[in-house]
Amino acid sequence: MSRVIAHLSRRYHFSASHRLHVDALSPEENRAMFGKCNNPFGHGHNYVVQVTFSGPVDAATGMVTNLGDLDSFAQREMIDLFDHANLNTLEAFLDRVSTTENLSMEVWRIFSAYPHAKLERVHIEETGNNSFDYFGEGSPFLC
C-alpha cells in the first residue's frame, strides 16, 4: 500500500539587522562590494521565512505534521534567536558574512532538525525585490 506524501509550507516573520562586511577587505573594497549594505551602523530587514516540509499524510489526523509542534519549534529555535537581533553578533555569522544566502543555509540547519517531517526548501524574502531559496546541500539544483 502506498503512502500519500504531501508538502506543507509555513511562513514566519522576524526583524533583524546586519552589516555586510568582510574584515579582509579594505573599507573601499567593502563599499564597492556591498554598497549601502556596508553601512557601519548596519541596516535592518523584516524577513519572511517560508519553510516547506514533506511527509506522509497521517491517516488519523490528515496532516503532514502538527502545526502547533512546528510553530513551537520555529519560535524556540529560530524566532527567539533572530528576532530583533544583530545577525553579525550571532555565533552563526561570526566567521561568515550575514548575507541572506548564508541566513538561508542557517535556517536550513535549524529546521533540518525538526523531527516530524522532511525539510525540502527554505525561502527567505529579504525585501520586496530580493528573495532567496535553499534546498540543502544534496539539492539537484546545485552545480
Q: Is residue 60 part of a domain?
A: yes
Q: Is residue 126 part of a domain?
A: yes
HSE of 138 in the Cβ direction (CA atoms, 13 Å)?
Answer: 3
Cβ-contact 3, 20 below 8 angstroms: no
* Residues known to be catalytic: 37, 84, 126
CATH of residue 9's domain is 3.30.479.10
Q: How many domains does the chain have?
A: 1
Query: What are the pLDDT digits (tens) for 33-90?
Result: 999 999 999 999 999 999 999 999 999 999 999 999 999 999 999 999 999 999 999 9
Q: Is residue 106 part of a domain?
A: yes
- Provide the pLDDT confidence category of residue 143 given band limits of 50, 70 and 90: very low
> What is the average per-residue pLDDT within 19-34?
97
Q: Provide the domain limits for residue 75.
A: 5-14+45-134
142 phi and psi, to 5 degrees? Answer: -85, 140
pLDDT of residue 133: 98
Cβ-contact 20, 98 below 8 angstroms: yes
pLDDT of residue 1: 45
Cβ-contact 13, 48 below 8 angstroms: yes
Query: What are the pLDDT digits (tens) for 30-40?
Result: 999 999 999 99
High-pLDDT (> 70) share of the chain, %: 95
Long-range contacts of 77-80 (CB under 8 A, 24+ apart): 77/110, 77/111, 77/113, 78/12, 78/14, 78/49, 78/107, 78/110, 78/111, 79/12, 79/14
Cell 573594497 maps to which residue? 29
Mean pLDDT score of the chain: 95
pLDDT of residue 3: 80
DSSP-based three-state secondary structure for 140: coil
- Provide the pLDDT confidence category of residue 140 given band limits of 50, 70 and 90: low
